[in-house]
Amino acid sequence: MTELRVAEPRRYSKIYSLGASRGNHSVSNDEIAGPIDSSDEWIRQRTGVITRARASDDQTLASMAMEAGKEAIEKAGIKPEQIDLVIVSTISFPYATPSAATLIAAELGIPNAAAYDISAACAGYCYGIAQADSMIRSGLSEYALVIGAERLSDFIDPTDRTISFLLGDGAGAAIVGPSDTPGISETVWGSDGTKWDKVGMTGSILEFKDGGSWPTLVQEGRTVFRWAVWEMVKAAKEALDIAGITVNDLSALVTHQANMRIIDEFAKQLELPDSVVVARDIETTGNTSAASIPLAMHRILQEKQVSSGGFALQIGFGAGLAYAAQVVVLP
């Protein structure tokens, strides 16, 4: 009997490079504090945010994603036509269809790539890395462009005290490709839909169509904080165990940039040694949801806080509540 021909699998994949794009406007706490009846001091103490990057009128989600993607491609040393998979993680692309990924692929000169968007909010970039890793190792793809991109300023309420004052705009991109050695560990991922309504929107697009208010982002901060600090630390520890390393082997911890207090508590619960660099991009960029992890990793590499080749634990968690974690070799 004739057998079907299947793709030739590969053993390993890795992240080749990163690219970044942030909103052009640096918005201070003083500019945010008035409508929420707060102060620069309160915002710094509660969140660690000093400024947040927000897009100018001419910076669309797609344009920031393309800027980040272009940098990643150039740094990887490959040609756009070698990329056969484009994954964009976003919750703020203003079109339900077509996808941002197909537009970005075309604008970057990537022909005939499989291209699609995923919606996993703050976990979305790690979801994208997991999918790219699996597709490359299965032989279905050779090089993947994974982008986390958000223009969250389109979905904020200036008077909201739960999340809007944290949010920023930007895009982070990674090129993932084949490797002779392990570059991306098995992903630990999942969700807890019993908390579906703890981070999300104030209403649906259908409600807006019927005369309701424009939907904006909102969260139950205390519930999310407890879940992130206690449950997600368990996922992070599981990711380390599956990767076969300990915190002493890490060069960096790159969590979703949700809140500086969450990041600090994460580092404390993991009992990180002083040698591990903890990414804190939230301080001047804000919370950029799916873009936050690649932006934070890009920064610690660009500022030479860490070196290429070390291990980084990256973990995203947020609306859904969805989460994903993996250990990667720094590009």
Q: Are residues 141 and 238 in the same domain?
A: no
Q: What is the identity of the amino acid at 185?
A: S
Q: Are residues 162 and 271 in the same domain?
A: no
Q: Which residue has the tokens 């005939």?
A: 112
Q: Are residues 155 and 210 in the same domain?
A: no
Q: Are residues 26 and 173 in the same domain?
A: yes
pLDDT of residue 259: 94
pLDDT of residue 1: 84
Condensed to tens digits (0 to 9), the pLDDT of residues 280-294 reads 999 999 999 999 999
What are the E-state strand segments in 180-321? Answer: 188-191, 199-201, 217-219, 250-255, 277-278, 311-318
The single residue of 126, 259, 287, 298 carrying the catalytic annotation is 287
Condensed to tens digits (0 to 9), the pLDDT of residues 218-273 reads 999 899 999 998 899 999 999 999 999 999 999 999 999 999 999 999 999 999 99
The mean pLDDT value of the chain amounts to: 96
Query: At what angle are helices 260-270 and 40-47 packed, to 10 degrees?
Result: 30
Q: Which residue has the tokens 């339900």?
A: 96
Q: Are residues 116 and 219 in the same domain?
A: no
pLDDT of residue 7: 86
Q: Are residues 61 and 151 in the same domain?
A: yes
The single residue of 122, 126, 259, 298 carrying the catalytic annotation is 122
Q: Are residues 19 and 167 in the same domain?
A: yes
Q: Are residues 167 and 238 in the same domain?
A: no
Structure tokens given for 11? 């053993």
Q: Are residues 157 and 204 in the same domain?
A: no
Give the span between the Cα atoms of 145 and 89, in whole angstroms: 11
Q: Are residues 17 and 126 in the same domain?
A: yes
Known active-site residue 287: yes
pLDDT of residue 266: 93
Range of the domain at 230: 188-329
The reply to whether 117 falls in a domain is yes
What confidence category does residue 6 fall into, taking pLDDT thresholds of 50, 70 and 90?
A: confident
As for how many domains the chain has, the answer is 2
Condensed to tens digits (0 to 9), the pLDDT of residues 164-173 reads 999 999 999 9
Decide which of 179, 211, 242 is a domain's last residue: 179
pLDDT of residue 172: 98
The single residue of 29, 126, 256, 298 carrying the catalytic annotation is 256
Give the span between the Cα atoms of 189 and 179, in whole angstroms: 23
The reply to whether 219 falls in a domain is yes
The reply to whether 230 falls in a domain is yes
Decide which of 145, 179, 213 is a domain's last residue: 179
Percent of the residues in the chain that have a pLDDT greater than 90, as a whole number: 97
The reply to whether 83 falls in a domain is yes
Known active-site residue 256: yes
Decide which of 149, 179, 209 is a domain's last residue: 179
Model confidence at 48: pLDDT above 90: yes
Condensed to tens digits (0 to 9), the pLDDT of residues 68-108 reads 999 999 999 999 999 999 999 999 999 999 999 999 999 99
The reply to whether 296 falls in a domain is yes
- The CATH number of residue 92's host domain is 3.40.47.10
The reply to whether 3 falls in a domain is no
